[in-house]
Structure 1
């Protein structure tokens, strides 16, 4: 697998591009802005985008979604349990003063445990509520890799003090979904630098006993 990611948009979202080395078919995760940069990176990889995955329904993760869909023809996929928040995406764009752009149309809703595949790439949908009610992570077990969205960061965790965020849900997500993964699992968060489950288990202050329990 070929993996590349770049920081995009007003909040420096990590937009990931995964490419099957056999077919050059690709998946893009969280196209949060800077459409031209994303398209240039796709062209440099000689990739053909077949799926666009969104981890959760916050504006900063989808700003480039409509343009990317138009240019590639790839369907846009969103966790089914985040549909309610998605209905407010137009309002989010307005409040964030995202001008001249509209949210992409969602073509497919994803369920917990579902596998999405392109070429030799296969990702499992893991429901990770807390930062948003229906957010998800995308897990590649064979690659020891997880795209965490805004649930787990290097040395931090997702903000639960946002509209529709939930502290108790985030705690369960961190302990039941992330801390059960192997230590060598590579974590690509929604923002910031990448990390591993083992590093966060040892160093993340929010995962220390009593901190968020």
Structure 2
């Protein structure tokens, strides 16, 4: 398999930025770099890897504020999210100013993603699932061999993503979880945008928002 994952919490929101490492090639991808660029560069150096790509699940500032900076600094492409989240990316400078984040600039991904796409780095490949609801253009990355999903702010241990932001949709979010995530299997481990990891099976058993008991 050859996949290694390092989770680096970034920003005051403690967003789980993930560094995915292909152990065969020592190439890496960063998923959802919301801030703390020096901390992420230090992590890359400590891992002894070369950054190859940046992957974005959605356009909220704590998940992508420094994507453009990393892309420019390392000359690597940005892949994701879905085009429907472009309006969030366009607001990054004003959002960062309003929330006390360091100043940033709008970026344009090298590639917008859709459900059914794949992304790759080194010898690793991840499937892309389109999971709107928290934002209209949210995507999830799934590594089938590792049974690992990077779900951004779709699902958390014991909770689900907020839907009170512009163009959020609660019913759509529930459908994304039930129709896109659950079929991957109860044994899939997931890294949420915030907080501890869990498995889909555990959330189906105990998550009050999407458990089979409440949404069977």
TM-score by length of 2: 0.92
Pair 1:145 & 2:148 matched: yes
Conserved 8 A contact 1:62-1:104: no
1:14 corresponds in structure 2 to 16
The verdict on how the C-alpha distance between 1:84 and 1:212 changes in structure 2, with shifts beyond 3 A counting, is farther
Q: Tell me how far 1:102 sits from its aligned partner.
A: 2.4
Aligned residues: 213
Structure-2 residue corresponding to 1:203: 206
Match for 1:47 among 30, 35, 49?
Answer: 49
Aligned twin of 2:93: 90
In structure 1, the gaps of 5 or more residues are none
Asked if 1:131 corresponds to 2:134, the answer is yes
Take 1:48 and 1:118, find their aligned partners in 2: how far apart are those partners?
Answer: 11
Q: Secondary structure at the match of 1:205?
A: coil
TM-score, normalising length: structure 1: 0.93
- The corresponding residue for 1:179 is 182
Is the Cα contact below 8 Å between 1:2 and 1:21 reproduced in 2?
A: yes
Q: 1:30 matched to which residue of 2?
A: 32
Deviant stretches of 4+, over 3 Å: 208-213
The residue number in structure 2 matching 1:3 is 5
Q: Is the partner of 1:179 in helix, strand or coil?
A: helix
Cα distance between partner residues in 1 of 2:143 and 2:36: 26
Contact 2:142 / 2:150 at 8 angstroms: preserved in 1?
yes
SS at match of 1:4: strand
